[in-house]
Structure 1
Amino acid sequence: MKIATDLWHRRGHSIADELRLIKDAGFDGVEFTVSEANENLPNVSDRGYLRIEHIMDDARELRKLANDVGLEIHSVRSGLLWRYPLTSPDPAIRDRAIEIAERELEACSLMGATALLIVPGVVTEDVPYDVAYRLSQEALGRLSRKTEGLGITLAIENVCNNFLLSPMEFARFIDELNSPAVGAYLDVGNVMDCRVGYPQHWVRILGGRVRRVHIKDYSIGLRGITDLFNGDVNWAAVMKALRDVGYDGYLTAELHPFNVAYELYFRQLAERMRMLLTL
């Protein structure tokens, strides 16, 4: 397995310096997040480098800069699918979501990324569960037909969206799409944060459907996400389950860095993730 992190933006710092810092800390790869150009971003943010309005120009620049420092761009997060859900009751928003995902796939192809993280939809008071299921499958079916042959996985993530609330349903959902281009982006911390069980069980049930893994810990006492090894995730069981199902892809940290001692944070995080690989 290899280790990666989301790219975090510090206002006033160059992209090249940020990528070099990640590489020097000991990471093998990086994951970018798609945003809109007009987003009001904090001083430290994981958004802003890959703008949907300029996505191909940004993708070209990021590919060159990552190649220059020796980082693999293995994945892209489609962060805008919270704002434009595939399951919106408004067909215009659903069409916009499809358009965004298609542009993101083009960017993935240009950068050499082999996974696009997809939020499959959101169940709300106005969007019942069965309606969300149908709309999500319709949208992902359309996208999968365009993705097959590109070597890119539509990696559906388990997120706190009131949807796909068990590993058995998640597996069935993927199987019903019946496409080699569709898999799971398993977020270890989200399993516990969303109160839907234990991540090692999700790994074993999803099996070979797992195409990417997000790493973060969860504290039962604090009822929230924590830094790696500061929570209650049974990492030894998770890592054993990943090996048992044959997973050999990226483990990507999705954790907020320190607001100060930024460089120290990434060095420590990479060291912890390397330790994780030994469990």
Structure 2
Amino acid sequence: MDFGFSANAFRDYGPVETVEILADAGYDGVELLFDQPHLYPPETDEEDVAEMRRALDDNDLEISNCNAFMLTAIEGFHHPSYVEADAEYRQKRIDYTREALHLADAFDAEYISIEPGGPIPDEKSREWAMETFVQSLNEVIPSAEELGVDLLVEPEPDLLIETTDQFLEFIDTVDSSAVGCNFDAGHLFCVGEDPAAAVETLGEYADHYHVEDIPADRSHEHTQLGAGAMDIDAFLEAVEASGYDGFVTVELYPYQETAEETARDAMSFLTEHGWT
């Protein structure tokens, strides 16, 4: 396994400076943020891509993932979603995802992570939301297949797909090998699951993993590694035992005010526990 750190904690830094800091901290990769103020697809041109590619090469850093989940450039983390009741508003998420796929391709990245549908609108049923999510994905799957960039759906508390079982129900309705799972250990812990056990179930669909700690009350608060109640080592042991040899990315976006220190402390945890 290799370890990356998500740039979504570094929104007070430029993307190139973020790469330099994470390389110096000892990470193997960086999760690029496809949102403002970093690499928002409609505002990212060939020169921006070339500059970032030079920074990655100069710092011997790989892309661990392309985060196309957050969309604060329009409204927030979860809106617009793939299941908005307003079709025009929903289309903004679909169009953004298509642009994100093309930007990932410009970086020669293999996948992007996306939200699992979104919050179910109050006036709509779960069945409607699932059907609408799949319809929305079907609008971008042809681009994903053509480019060779996969769409990794990330289960998250309070959104359409929260649990392992819900993801399995969803993936059975999708007729494309370009759709997989962005396995976020903390998210599954929040909804009462054991992330280590879930690796056996979801591992075959997971091309990328997120890790963070979570408080003992299982509230959805991304917490520094070792500062919460999760058994991080058991989770990483399960990932290693599965034969996975890709990236595990530390995602600690709430630590924006202390991003550099937080990234270094997370690496210290991984080092002290024998993972790097």
Q: Could you give the per-residue CA deviations for residues 126-162 of structure 1, whole angstroms, max 9, x where no partner exists?
A: 3321111001111112322221243322010011233
Q: Match of 1:259, as an amino acid?
A: E
**Which residue of 2 is the match for residue 56 of structure 1?**
45
**Which residue of 2 is the match for residue 115 of structure 1?**
111
Q: Match of 1:94, as an amino acid?
A: R
**Which residue of 1 is the match for residue 202 of structure 2?**
206
CA contact (8 A) 2:225 2:232 kept: no
Moved more, 59-68 or 149-158: 59-68
User: What secondary structure is seen at the aligned counterpart in 1 of 2:143?
Assistant: helix
- After TM superposition, list the pairs within 5 Å mapping 1:222-261 onto structure 2: 223=219, 224-255=221-252, 256-257=254-255, 259-260=257-258
CA contact (8 A) 2:155 2:182 kept: yes
In structure 1, the gaps of 5 or more residues are 36-46
In structure 2, the gaps of 5 or more residues are 72-76
**Which residue of 1 is the match for residue 80 of structure 2?**
84
What is the number of equivalent residue pairs in this alignment? 265
- Residues 103 and 277 of structure 1, relative CA distance in 2, 3 Å threshold: farther
**Which residue of 2 is the match for residue 95 of structure 1?**
91
Counterparts of 1:53 and 1:157 in 2: how far apart (Å)?
23
- Residues 146 and 19 of structure 1, relative CA distance in 2, 3 Å threshold: same
Q: Shift in Å at residue 108 of structure 1? A: 0.2
Q: Match of 2:10, as an amino acid?
A: H
From 148, 152, 158, give the equivalent of 2:149.
152
- Residues 85 and 248 of structure 1, relative CA distance in 2, 3 Å threshold: same
- After TM superposition, list the pairs within 5 Å mapping 1:176-195 onto structure 2: 176-193=173-190, 195=191
Q: Match of 2:134, as an amino acid?
A: Q
**Which residue of 2 is the match for residue 9 of structure 1?**
10
Counterparts of 1:10 and 1:232 in 2: how far apart (Å)?
27
User: What secondary structure is seen at the aligned counterpart in 2 of 1:75?
Assistant: strand
- Residues 180 and 22 of structure 1, relative CA distance in 2, 3 Å threshold: same
Q: TM-score, normalised by structure 1?
A: 0.85
Counterparts of 2:163 and 2:241 in 1: how far apart (Å)?
20
Structure with the bigger percentage of strand: 1
Counterparts of 1:74 and 1:222 in 2: how far apart (Å)?
26
**Which residue of 2 is the match for residue 129 of structure 1?**
126
- Residues 120 and 166 of structure 1, relative CA distance in 2, 3 Å threshold: closer
Query: Would you say 1:74 and 2:64 are equivalent positions?
Result: yes
Q: Shift in Å at residue 250 of structure 1? A: 0.7
Counterparts of 1:102 and 1:247 in 2: how far apart (Å)?
28
CA contact (8 A) 2:224 2:262 kept: no
- Residues 226 and 10 of structure 1, relative CA distance in 2, 3 Å threshold: closer
Query: Would you say 1:33 and 2:33 are equivalent positions?
Result: yes
Q: TM-score, normalised by structure 2?
A: 0.86
Q: Shift in Å at residue 119 of structure 1? A: 0.5
User: What secondary structure is seen at the aligned counterpart in 2 of 1:144?
Assistant: helix
Q: Could you give the per-residue CA deviations for residues 182-216 of structure 1, whole angstroms, max 9, x where no partner exists?
A: 110011111122x2422123222112101111110
Counterparts of 1:227 and 1:14 in 2: how far apart (Å)?
22
**Higher RCO (Cα < 8 Å, 6 or more apart):** 2
Counterparts of 1:214 and 1:248 in 2: how far apart (Å)?
14
Q: Shift in Å at residue 233 of structure 1? A: 1.2
Alpha carbon RMSD of aligned pairs, Å? Answer: 2.4
